[in-house]
Amino acid sequence: MERDAADLTMLLNRGAQGDTDAADQAFDRVYARLKLIAVGPSGPARRDGTLHATALVHEAYARLFRSAGTPWESRAHFFGVAAKAMRRIAIDHARASLAKKRGGEWSRVGADRLAAEASTDPVDVIALDDGLRELAALSPRQAQIVELRFFAGLSVREVAQIVGRSDRTVELDWRAARAWLKSRLDGEVE
pLDDT tens digits, residue range 9-20? 888 888 878 888
Question: What rounded mean pLDDT belongs to the chain?
Answer: 76
Q: Give tens-digit pLDDT for 66-109.
A: 765 667 888 888 888 888 888 888 788 777 777 666 544 445 44
pLDDT score at 143: 92
**Coil, strand or helix: which one is 109?**
coil
**Residue 158 maps to a domain:** yes
Q: What is the spatial distance between Cα 92 and Cα 99, in angstroms, rounded to a whole number? A: 11
pLDDT digits (tens, 9 = 90+) for 32-69: 878 877 765 455 555 444 567 788 888 888 888 776 56
What distances in angstroms separate CA 106 from CA 86, 101, 116, one per listed residue?
Answer: 19, 10, 22
* Domain encompassing residue 181: 2-185
Q: Is the pLDDT of residue 133 over 80?
A: yes
Answer yes or no: is pLDDT of 134 > 90. Answer: yes
User: Does the residue 35 lie in any domain?
Assistant: yes
Asked whether residue 190 is domain-assigned, the answer is no
Domain-embedded: residue 108: yes
Q: What pLDDT shows up at residue 48?
A: 46
Domain count, the chain: 1
The answer as to whether 137 is a domain residue is yes
| Cα 153 to Cα 131: distance, rounded to the nearest angstrom | 19
- In a domain, residue 45? The reply is yes
Indicate whether 29 belongs to any domain: yes
* pTM for the model: 0.64
CA distances to 19, 52, 101, 172 from 132, in Å: 35, 23, 24, 17
Higher pLDDT, 151 or 108: 151
**Could you tell me the CA-to-CA distances from 160 to 66, 110, 143, 154 in Å, in that order?**
27, 27, 13, 10
Percent of the chain whose predicted confidence (pLDDT) is above 90: 17
